[in-house]
Amino acid sequence: MTFSNELHVAVVGATGAVGTRMIQTLEESNFPLTKLSLLSSARSAGKKVLFRGQELTVEIATPDKFEGVHIALFSAGGGVSKELAPEAVKRGAIVVDNTSAFRMDEGVPLVVPEVNEKDLLTHQGIIANPNCSTIQMVVALEPIRRAYGLKKVIVSTYQAVSGSGAAAIDELNKQTRNIIAGEEVTPEVLPVKGDKKHYQIVGNAIPQIDKFEDNGFTFEEMKMINETKKIMHLPDLHVAATCVRLPVETGHSESVYFETDQSDVTSAAIKDLLAASPGIILEDNPSEQLYPMPINCVGKNEVFVGRVRKDLDNNEGFHMWVVSDNLLKGAAWNSVQIASSLLKLGLVK
């Protein structure tokens, strides 16, 4: 490692659904930091957080707070990132940004360490953490691309409310209590906090995550499409996505159809490959009813893959079911992995 003995890390959005996981993950992974700054909006400033036995106070995120910071992990919404990430970079920090603010910008590496860690070498201060639903999918697809090529992906997602933040988790829990008590439900957050209409999530499946684009796809679907091409360096890959929100607190699931370049690949070969690939746990044994489920992935860093089977009509086609904790591999853990990669590659000075 080339950084000095000091390693100062800042977490921006420290009290949010992802920020709290970032702090936990930094602690649990023994990340070699020597100082941790917890930053937030004025509303959450002053809160106390225990980290490695020390009580830290959350401070208001202002430009000067990034003086001396080596790595700043941002997860406080796109607006905050747009305003403060350049300020952090100006003061010498490397920003790992968990929002969509810079992901598609040229010169901003969009990184999933299992897939494209080397892209970090070209960073210009800001590194983007991809969308949660994209990350778990590319972790599962990358070993397949390397071994057999990849030409087409069609994904339908089953996404947890925590992907929409702490307010959405509160809404799911409140609605559940309301319904059990026979009370009226007043949706205020989902599907998209800033959109016009809100719908009940309990007992429902909402085919809208983030706002709609002019082409009829949602922004979440376009994120999956565009980010996958960028991360995998496959600008011509055919990718289509349908993103759906479910009454699940944490853990995104994905029904993924993909086509390889090679024909005559067997599903057994795909399973062996996935089982041996970094960051993946294969859970695939139909006779034992073993397959990934969101309820089992919570709190785990890995991407769980199962239900791998060959398409019945297309010799190059396969189906699989991919599940991961959207707050960990989909956000906090991937950000901390990026930070670790930055250290490993000698990029933190």
User: Is residue 272 near a copy of itself by the rule CB under 8 A?
Assistant: no
Active-site option among 8, 70, 123, 252: 252
Does 63 sit behind a cis peptide bond, omega within 30 degrees of 0 on the bond before it? no
Measured from the CB of residue 98, what is the shortest distance to a copy of itself in angstroms?
24
- Selected from 41, 156, 167, 345, the binder of a copy of itself by CB under 8 A is 156
243 is catalytic: no
Q: Annotation-wise, does 5 bind a ligand?
A: no
Active-site option among 123, 132, 243, 297: 132
- Selected from 4, 62, 124, 314, the binder of a copy of itself by CB under 8 A is 314
Which residues, 6+ apart, have CB-to-CB distance to 129 below 8 Å?
96, 97, 98, 111, 135, 331, 334, 335, 338
- Dist CA 283 CA 297 (whole Å): 11
Measured from the CB of residue 54, what is the shortest distance to a copy of itself in angstroms?
31
Residue 88: what residue type?
Answer: A
DSSP conformation letters of 208-269: --SPBPTTSSBHHHHHHHHHHHHHHT-TT-EEEEE--B-S-SS-EEEEEEEE-SSSS--HHH
Measured from the CB of residue 43, what is the shortest distance to a copy of itself in angstroms?
28
Burial class (CB in 10 A: 0-12, 13-18, 19+), 37: buried
DSSP secondary structure letter of residue 285: B
User: Is residue 104 near a copy of itself by the rule CB under 8 A?
Assistant: no
Q: Report angle CA 247, 249, 253 to the nearest 5 degrees.
A: 75
Which residues, 6+ apart, have CB-to-CB distance to 197 below 8 Å?
none
Question: Token pair of 16, please?
Answer: 């949010």
Which residues, 6+ apart, have CB-to-CB distance to 233 below 8 Å?
116
8 A C-beta contact, residue 158 and residue 291: no
User: Is residue 275 near a copy of itself by the rule CB under 8 A?
Assistant: no
User: Measuring CA to CA, how many Å separate 91 from each of 60, 87, 238?
Assistant: 17, 6, 40
User: Is residue 304 near a copy of itself by the rule CB under 8 A?
Assistant: no
Q: Annotation-wise, does 98 bind a ligand?
A: no
Question: Token pair of 23, please?
Answer: 């702090």
Which residues, 6+ apart, have CB-to-CB distance to 30 below 8 Å?
none
Per-residue interface string for the shown chain with a copy of itself, residues 116-155, x marking contact by CB under 8 A: ------------------------------------x-x-
| Segments in the chain forming alpha helices (H) | 17-28, 78-90, 113-116, 132-148, 166-180, 219-232, 267-275, 294-297, 333-344
> From the CB of residue 14, how many other CB atoms can be counted at a distance below 10 Å?
27
Stretch that binds a copy of itself, among 8-16, 96-104, 292-300, 331-339 (CB under 8 A): 292-300
Q: Annotation-wise, does 326 bind a ligand?
A: yes
User: Is residue 82 near a copy of itself by the rule CB under 8 A?
Assistant: no
Stretch that binds a copy of itself, among 19-27, 94-102, 252-260, 336-344 (CB under 8 A): 252-260
> By CB under 8 A, what part of segment 190-249 binds a copy of itself?
191, 195-197, 199-200, 203-208, 212, 215-217, 225, 238-240, 242, 244, 246-249
Measured from the CB of residue 220, what is the shortest distance to a copy of itself in angstroms?
13
Residue closer to a copy of itself by CB (options 46, 207) is 207
- Selected from 109, 143, 279, 306, the binder of a copy of itself by CB under 8 A is 306
Known binding-site positions:
15-18, 43-44, 103, 159, 162-163, 245, 326
Instruction: Give catalytic residue positions.
Output: 132, 252
Q: Which residues are annotated as a binding site for NADP(+)?
A: 15-18, 43-44, 162-163, 326
**Binding positions for a copy of itself, rule: CB under 8 A:** 152, 154, 156, 158, 176-177, 179-180, 191, 195-197, 199-200, 203-208, 212, 215-217, 225, 238-240, 242, 244, 246-249, 253, 255, 257, 267, 286-289, 291-295, 306-314, 317, 319, 321
